[in-house]
A and B are shown apart, each in its own frame.
Chain A
Amino acid sequence: MPRFKARFDRLSHLFFPLSVLVILLIINLLKGADYFKITMVNGVLYGNIPNILYGASELVILSIGMTLVTAAARGQDISIGESGAISSAIFVQYVLNAGEVTIWTILVGFLISCVAGLVIGAFNGTLVSFFNVQPMVATLILFLGGRSIAFIIDGKVSPILANPISNKIGTVIPGVPIQTPIILTAVFIALVAVVLKTTNLRLYVEAVGINPNAARLNGINPKKVIFLTFLLMGVCSAVAGFIAVNKVGRHDSVNLLKFIMMDAILAVALGGNSLSGGKFSITGSIIGAYTIEVLNRTLLRLEVNPEAIKAFKAVFIIILMIVASPVVRVYARKCLGKVKTFVAGNAIGKPGGLNQAVISSMDSSAKKEE
């Protein structure tokens, strides 16, 4: 029993992101009971759930990187979409210039784009860790210039990536019932899990994010750790860019992964992570990323005018953030305590139980008003 409790405590930080997800799913179920229905078309599974997993793949991958950067650097990388656009532009150019496209062409192109991601990560990481530039300011550079660079690499507007292998990566591989981006995302998550298991990444990143001074006096070089998180962010961007470009089949340097950093930051926050660094939960961020995708689709399902979706999303997020804020949490705990004492008072049969509880709650609310 105590072991269960310990495990429960360890998972308690997932309570908030999971409950948001569940609320959204319930709203969807109320709208139509067939929400979870999955149909088989041409040997592939389709339905709301597969669509969500498919649609969120880039965001999930990016939110993993964003979690690490946030935890160590106590700030966010806002150039991830641009970084993905650049590395995928390089991938597309490699494939287009390679002549015959084989699985090896794609693989080499992917690895090259990952190297490009590393270079971009190194650039951002150097600015943040060695020159002490605020993460958002440092990454603002590529946020502004990144898409131009991607366009220069493209050489023209939207080069088309038309080959059967890319098509399979972007949609489905015949004979496999699950869409490829979902599989790729799952593989990526598994890889991250392995990295977290076989290295001290978590301990180093958390130590640096919580107390860089103490980390340094224990032999950790905070600069190197922050730099490393930006490298990993670069790889995440490259992978997300790779998936995104294969999904749409052309490289649109203007719209590819546009404004996705906002969703990624939101996913990190929804996942229960502090945006000012420290302890982190990648599981939380992944749930957060899927939650955002569900939210987008829910609003569509509720037939909100596509032009108005952003406003609704904003309202929803404001409500979420206020509910999850420490101010409300403390207040909720206080109210809960009052209810408990009230119930206890009643159970004992104290005549004053009710009055006291009411009076004290009135007192506290009066104080609040002041």
Chain B
Amino acid sequence: MQTEIILKMEGICKSFPGVRALHNVDFVLRKGEIHALMGENGAGKSTLTKILNGVYEKDAGRIMIEGRPVHFKSPQDAQNMGIGTVFQEIALCPNLTVAENMFIGRSRDVFVNWKQMNEKAAAMLRSLGIPASPTQELASCSIAVQQMIAIARAVDMDCKILILDEPTSSLDEDEVQKLFALMRELKARGVGIIFITHFLDQVYAISDRITVLRNGELIGEYLTAELPQIELVAKMMGKALSDVSAMKKQEPSKSDKRVPVFAAKELSSAAGVKPFDFTIHKGEVNGFAGLLGSGRSESVRAIFAADKITGGEVKINGKRVKIRTPLHAMKHGIGYLPEDRKSEGIIDELSVRDNIILALQVMKGFFKPLARKQAEEFANQYIKLLDIKTPSLDTPIKSLSGGNQQKVILARWLLTHPMYLILDEPTRGIDVGTKVEIQKLVLKLAADGMSLTFISSEIDEMLRVCSRLIVMKDREIVGELSGENMTEQNVMHMIAQGGK
């Protein structure tokens, strides 16, 4: 029974214009199994699941369900074959009742038998142990219960295969346990569950098997019990445990008396990072290492007050200051290049010029606009300095390539002459040449006395640029590495063992 295969995907390939998202990937799911699909960003997890649930069509390969080859043309096809998906963002209607949400759009009848529907829903909720009443409005349930109702909806469609894409990312620990209980219940019923998460501990708590993807390729399938966490981390990052490359060691800070530029104590924010201490010195480049979702972005956002600050004290150059909004942080000489360039960095319809001068302009104030000539001068200066390729100053930034957009945002912050600049994933999604340029620029800025925090998903890059690494796991700082200790192996060890 345990070994009965319900889903077999063989040699799946999928390309998007310019990107090979999946190459020759195999995936096998057995009946009554919770199978974790692991990989860093861009590894191809979501592409694979989207092929499975019919959102994308595969370029090549075979999908077999219970031994029969199938071909999905639409999500509806996949649903009819018993594949249910629950996404990270709950795709239900909050203002409808629980029962309505479970059955909405399911029947072709014009009239609804409310009584029958509610009874059916109640029976379903009871059998799955979901603490909700069918006539309750969905919005009045907690996020975890909503998540469970989404699962119940999927399960009710006679689903044999259930895809859970990051179901736990917005749940607290209690809620996660409730969700796990439901997953075990479904497992006992013989449903095959594909579980995608960034929380390693959850993978080990619930999954039977792990499949690791990296850069669109299959790395391997393992029994969870036989794969130590450290090896999993290594496989996800693409570094063999023994592969200690000859990394150019970072020079220790030149000045002996290290001046702390920014120091935070017990800093915490509404984004849910545990209170942490953090110090950065003049001319230092440090980095936050950790897997996606480990809280590295949330930490630097707290430094910049990008999320609501809920506690802690901050000292700048030894003086206590209050930083409650991004503007406060900017006025104290902090700059922040956000991780999500598109939704938080660029103002896409505005011109390259306006995007470059934005932060400086805001710091100068509402009543002191830069003269057009001055603005153009500044913009031209940085376009030249960073070699930004743009047809003109008036070109909307959205028509530039990703790398050039990122350089514009960099220019925006460099123009404010910050003493401390936070770069969250400055090199994501940009070409290799620009990546190297940005790394060089970071080192040059540090040599000129600026302090920087540099975050990247690529550990190589951080080791090359940073002189100190702060390691995070599950929204908590678990350790710090610097000098000789700063190796990939140590980072992986810390992520795997830390916090325990």
Contact = CB atoms under 8 A, between A and B. Distances in A.
Contacts of A213: 343-344
A203 B343 contact: no
A42 interface: no
A10 interface: yes
B113 interface: no
A13 B48 CA distance: 44
A200 interface: yes
A-B pairs, 4 with minimum CB distance:
A219-B327, A219-B362, A219-B330, A200-B369
B366 A200 contact: yes
Interface in B309-350: 325-327, 330, 336, 338, 343-350
A214 B326 contact: no
A103 B350 CA distance: 45
B16 to A, nearest CB: 23
B308 to A, nearest CB: 11
Nearest to A208: B347
29 contacts: A6-B392, A6-B394, A198-B369, A199-B367, A200-B362, A203-B354, A203-B358, A204-B362, A206-B347, A207-B347, A207-B354, A210-B348, A210-B350, A211-B346, A213-B344, A214-B338, A214-B343, A214-B344, A215-B347, A217-B306, A217-B338, A217-B344, A218-B330, A218-B362, A218-B412, A219-B326, A219-B330, A219-B359, A221-B327
A207 B330 contact: no
Given A206-B350, A217-B336, A200 B306 contact: no
A213 to B, nearest CB: 5
Interface string A6-29: 100110000000000000000000
Contact of B369 (A199, A207, A221): A199
A211 B340 CA distance: 12
B372 to A, nearest CB: 10
Nearest to A5: B392
Interface in B118-150: none
A216 interface: yes
Contact of A207 (B306, B326, B350, B368): B350
B253 interface: no
A298 B9 CA distance: 68
B361 interface: yes
Considering residues A213, A214, A216, A279, which has the most beta carbons from chain B within 10 angstroms of its beta carbon? Answer: A214
Interface in A197-237: 197-201, 203-204, 206-207, 210-211, 213-221
A175 B452 CA distance: 68
B430 interface: no
A204 B366 contact: yes
Interface SS, A side: helix
B363 interface: yes
Contacts of B304: 217
A170 interface: no
A278 interface: yes
Contacts, number: 80
A211 B359 contact: no
A144 to B, nearest CB: 24
Contacts of A199: 366-367, 369
Contacts of A221: 325, 327
Nearest to A206: B350
Contacts of A214: 338, 343-347
A206 B325 CA distance: 20
A104 to B, nearest CB: 30
Interface in B393-433: 394, 412
Contacts of A216: 306, 326
Given A218-B358, A278-B349, 10 more contacts: A200-B367, A200-B368, A210-B347, A214-B338, A214-B347, A215-B347, A217-B306, A217-B326, A220-B327, A279-B350
A360 B454 CA distance: 52
Contacts of A203: 350, 354, 358, 361, 369
B139 to A, nearest CB: 16
Contacts of B394: 6, 9-10
A220 B348 CA distance: 16
A215 B60 CA distance: 43
Contacts of A217: 304, 306, 326, 336, 338, 344-345
Contacts of B347: 206-207, 210-211, 214-215
A198 B366 CA distance: 9
A217 B327 CA distance: 8
A220 B362 contact: yes
Interface string B256-270: 000000000000000
B325 A219 contact: yes
B234 to A, nearest CB: 35
B349 A279 contact: yes
Contacts of B345: 214, 217
Contact of A200 (B330, B338, B361, B412): B361
Interface in A239-288: 278-279
A364 B335 CA distance: 50
A197 B368 CA distance: 10
A84 B392 CA distance: 43
Contacts of A10: 394
A219 B332 CA distance: 12
B397 to A, nearest CB: 10
A321 B347 CA distance: 27
A220 B327 CA distance: 7
A203 B361 CA distance: 9
Contacts of A207: 347, 350, 354, 358
Contacts of B369: 197-200, 203
